[in-house]
Chain A
Amino acid sequence: DTGVSQNPRHKITKRGQNVTFRCDPISEHNRLYWYRQTLGQGPEFLTYFQNEAQLEKSRLLSDRFSAERPKGSFSTLEIQRTEQGDSAMYLCASSAQGPLPQETQYFGPGTRLLVL
Chain B
Amino acid sequence: KQEVTQIPAALSVPEGENLVLNCSFTDSAIYNLQWFRQDPGKGLTSLLLIQSSQREQTSGRLNASLDKSSGRSTLYIAASQPGDSATYLCGVWEQGAQKLVFGQGTRLTINP
Contacts and interface: CB of A to CB of B under 8 A. Distances in A.
A110 B43 contact: yes
Interface string A26-57: 00000001010000111111001000000110
Contacts of A93: 44
A5 to B, nearest CB: 10
B69 interface: no
B61 interface: no
Interface in B88-105: 89, 91, 93, 95, 97-105
A104 B99 CA distance: 11
A91 interface: yes
Interface residues of A, number: 27
Given A55-B98, A56-B98, A105-B100, A43 B32 contact: no
Contacts of B105: 40-42
Nearest to B42: A109
Nearest to B44: A107
Nearest to B49: A104
Q: Identify the interface centre among A55, A56, A93, A112: most chain B CB within 10 Å of its CB.
A: A93
B42 A110 contact: yes
B99 A33 contact: yes
A70 B55 CA distance: 40
A9 B97 CA distance: 29
A74 B43 CA distance: 18
A106 B99 contact: no
Interface string A79-98: 00000000000010100000
B21 to A, nearest CB: 13
30 contacts: A6-B43, A40-B104, A41-B105, A42-B89, A42-B91, A42-B104, A43-B89, A43-B91, A48-B98, A55-B98, A56-B97, A56-B98, A58-B99, A91-B43, A91-B44, A100-B31, A100-B51, A101-B31, A101-B51, A101-B93, A104-B34, A104-B46, A104-B49, A105-B34, A105-B100, A106-B46, A107-B43, A109-B42, A110-B42, A112-B41
A107 B99 contact: no
A62 interface: no
B4 interface: yes
